[in-house]
Amino acid sequence: MLVFVLGDGGRVKNLSICLILLSICFASRFAPAQDDLAGARVSLAELEWRGAIRRYTAILETAKPGSAEWTEATYGLGISHHHVQPPSSETISAAMRQYQQIIDQASDQRYVARAMMNVGRVHELRDYSEDVVDLAKAREAYEKVVARFPNDPIAGEAVLRAASTLVMAFDEPNYEQVKSGITMLEKWLAAHPDDALASVMWQYIGDAYFRPLADYENALRAYENVDRLGWTDQGNQGPWYWRAAQLAERFLDKPDIAAKYYAKIIMETPNSGKAYESMESLRRLGKPVPSSPLFETVAPSTQPAVGTASTQRSKP
């Protein structure tokens, strides 16, 4: 308890000290300490969801709604409820409430955009056994992100996720939703060719054209764009190189493109399991087999292709 000491004439002595003590009292009571937030961040980073829930809940008891501390704690609490194990309808419902609070009250648009994305993810994925996936609601949430933040990098991610809700429908026999998802991505890429996720989008387009549409011409076109931009999962693109080579050689009569990808398998992903077959395929196509450090004894540099002058028998 603070005691004001009154002196002659009823004037307050040591008033400045009292005011300082009052400010400390109010700060500790109504403003979350930075070390509390720091501790909650550690729990979040260590995936200690229950500890994070306790910490963020305590912070929110005193945080002013709409403040920076409130925004971070509310979003952190939503993330924690979203991921705590085992998930349940109660924890997911709590996460949705906290995400909606961010959307409605936060001034920091970074949190708002991510909360809107997370609402879409809740609808898109099954979090517990009785949960019901709702791809239409997920797509609606993602499209709201694009509409509200069209020039933010998160818009590209939202377009990719919205398109995936259509492609995942696999609505045979005509696959109209699959085609709509591909169209959504191709339209976005035409307007945003340098999107940070452009390579991922083209790879997803290629996969959708390959299966279920069996449109090999467009699948190869998409994979060519991925190769031009660079593969996101660098070093693990061997299976897609093999697919592109097989499409080019077996279905599209494009031996030069096939040879390009066979060579890439040998040089860039020799441990993909298809390097030796790629060597044999290049020989079959009459193309030079490049040298790879892992296969130097099998495929010496500039091995002559089958059918060249050095390997043909002289005619009688």
- pLDDT digit string (tens) for 135-162? 999 999 999 999 999 999 999 999 999 9
> Which residue from 302, 309, 245 is spatially nearest to 272, judged by alpha carbons?
245
Q: Which pLDDT does position 292 carry in this prediction?
A: 77
Neighbour count for residue 64 (Cβ, 10 Å)? 11
Question: Measured between alpha carbons, how far is 102 from 89 in angstroms, rounded to an integer?
Answer: 20
Distance CA 212, CA 223 (A): 16
Residue 183, pLDDT score: 98
Average pLDDT, the chain: 87
∠ CA 216-236-187, rounded to 5° = 45
**Closest by alpha carbon to 274, among 244, 239, 248?**
239
Q: Is the pLDDT of residue 244 over 70?
A: yes
Q: What is the DSSP letter of 85?
A: S
Residue with tokens 């340098």: 194
Q: What are the phi and psi torsion angles at 280 (to 5°)?
A: -65, -35
C-alpha separations of 96 from 37, 123, 148 in Å = 21, 10, 19
List the chain domain ranges: 1-30, 32-133
* pLDDT band per the 50, 70, 90 thresholds, residue 34: confident
Instruction: Say what the pTM is.
Output: 0.81
Question: Of residues 13 and 314, which shows the higher confidence score?
Answer: 13
Q: How confident is the model at residue 295 (pLDDT cuts 50, 70, 90)?
A: low
CATH number of 32-133: 1.25.40
**DSSP letter assigned to residue 133:** -
Residue 259 has pLDDT above 90, yes or no: yes
Say whether the peptide bond before residue 87 is cis (omega within 30 degrees of 0): no
